[in-house]
């Protein structure tokens, strides 16, 4: 990556040999780690080496009347920057223009942070974070700035959110030749690397033909995988504990004119109780659980992975598709899942170049009884 701050900014970690070398190192490290469960080559999906992030967060550093973006340096002290080759081209172009406009419109008072959320096509929401209350004067100036730069703008301070325009972007992903639309809401989780996210989705549905069987999805988030999966299964039942994520997932379903998904807000433990008839939940009253014919379960848990009880529940199903943002917890969970299932394919997705982080995928099938 051609970055004048590389080796100083704590957002990246220095590797010998550039991007290809560091990806090779991560793949080799995990091939060794997962060898007890999978000894074939991983399907490997690299990132672009620069301009790959569609969202970014920066501190705002004040030096007299001058404002700068700032990151935490490798020495843990603030490092002032004026560019970042991690962010996509739309954010990179906006960054200097925005700082100039903040100064001209006098919006820098007690501004301490600036967050960017961009679509691949340049739809942009910028959030300003303040240590002061935002008044009508701030709103009038912010409206002029937003109009000049053709962005949507949000001002945040303690117990206050002021929206100039809208608080979301619409992302378009082309998955196996079909376009899918996603509403990404400011200050909520979205996949940061759209091109690698597209490859993840394609890999998860690879080999799936349109089926009369149904899919159970746990930890569905805002429907990133759910929406494309719905084109392959008769019906999808998707669970998620976050109320805001469920609301976004339902909107994304409507955006894509898909109608064979039921979303339910509950965790894995509660859903297991509902499925087994241990407890009745009002949140499940609209769902005829007996009408589903599940053979496949898809999981994309948080970094903590799944607990033992969740792994035992998932082991009930013939096919398991597992996307993980933490190889260490995936390894732990495979120790349980491999007691009943065999790992047939694994993949690595380099969402975060120049860091030790790596997304991984595993496809498992129930072992045949001897």
- Record the tokens describing residue 114, joined without a space: 């600036």
Options 9, 325, 328, 335, the catalytic residue: 325
Secondary structure letter of residue 316 according to DSSP: T
Residue 303 in 3-state DSSP?
Answer: coil
Half-sphere exposure of 110 (CA within 13 A, CB side): 10
Q: Find the Cα–Cα–Cα–Cα dihedral 135, 136, 137, 140, rounded to 10°.
A: 130
Radius of gyration of the chain (CA): 22
Q: Which residues are 127's β-sheet partners? A: 115, 154
Taking the mean position of all CA atoms in its chain, how far away is CA 292?
28
Return d(Cα 228, Cα 298) in angstroms, integer.
12
Q: Which residues are 57's β-sheet partners? A: 115
Classify burial at 17, counting beta carbons within 10 Å of its beta carbon; exposed 0-12, middle 13-18, buried 19 or more: exposed
Q: Which residues are 63's β-sheet partners? A: 66
359 flagged as catalytic: yes
Q: Which residues are 171's β-sheet partners? A: 182
Return d(Cα 350, Cα 15) in angstroms, integer.
15
Helical (H) or strand (E) element with 178? strand 178-185
Return d(Cα 117, Cα 127) in angstroms, integer.
8
Q: Which residues are 81's β-sheet partners? A: 69
φ/ψ (deg, to 5) at 38 = -155, 115
Q: Which residues are catalytic?
A: 325, 359
């Amino acid at each position: 990556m051609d970055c004048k701050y590389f080796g100083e900014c704590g957002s990246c970690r220095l590797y010998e040999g550039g991007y290809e070398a560091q990806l090779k190192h991560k793949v080799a490290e995990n091939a060794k780690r997962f060898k007890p469960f999978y000894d074939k080559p991983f399907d490997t999906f690299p990132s672009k080496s620069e301009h790959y992030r569609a969202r970014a967060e920066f501190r705002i550093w004040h030096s007299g009347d001058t404002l700068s973006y700032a990151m935490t340096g490798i020495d843990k002290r603030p490092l002032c920057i004026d560019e970042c080759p991690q962010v996509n081209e739309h954010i990179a172009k906006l960054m200097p223009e925005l700082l100039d406009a903040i100064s001209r419109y006098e919006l820098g008072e007690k501004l301490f942070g600036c967050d960017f959320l961009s679509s691949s096509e340049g739809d942009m929401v910028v959030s300003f974070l303040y240590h002061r209350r935002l008044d009508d004067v701030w709103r009038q100036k912010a409206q002029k700035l937003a109009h000049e730069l053709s962005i949507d703008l949000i001002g945040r301070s303690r117990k206050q959110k002021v929206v100039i325009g809208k608080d979301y972007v619409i992302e378009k992903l082309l998955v196996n030749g079909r376009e899918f639309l996603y509403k990404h809401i400011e200050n909520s989780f979205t996949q940061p690397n759209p091109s690698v996210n597209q490859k993840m989705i394609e890999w998860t549905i690879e080999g799936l033909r349109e089926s009369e069987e149904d899919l159970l999805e746990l930890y569905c988030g805002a429907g990133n995988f759910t929406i494309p999966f719905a084109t392959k299964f008769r019906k999808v039942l998707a669970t998620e504990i976050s109320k805001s994520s469920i609301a976004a997932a339902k909107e994304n379903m409507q955006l894509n004119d898909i109608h064979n998904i039921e979303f339910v807000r509950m965790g894995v433990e509660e859903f297991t109780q509902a499925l087994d008839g241990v407890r009745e939940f009002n949140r499940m009253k609209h769902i005829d659980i007996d009408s589903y014919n599940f053979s496949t379960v898809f999981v994309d848990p948080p970094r903590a992975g799944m607990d033992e009880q969740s792994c035992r529940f998932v082991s009930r199903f013939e096919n398991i598709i597992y996307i993980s943002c933490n190889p260490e917890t995936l390894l732990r969970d495979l120790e349980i899942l491999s007691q009943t299932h065999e790992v047939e394919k694994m993949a690595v997705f380099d969402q975060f170049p120049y860091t030790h982080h790596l997304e991984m995928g595993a496809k498992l099938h129930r072992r045949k009884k001897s």
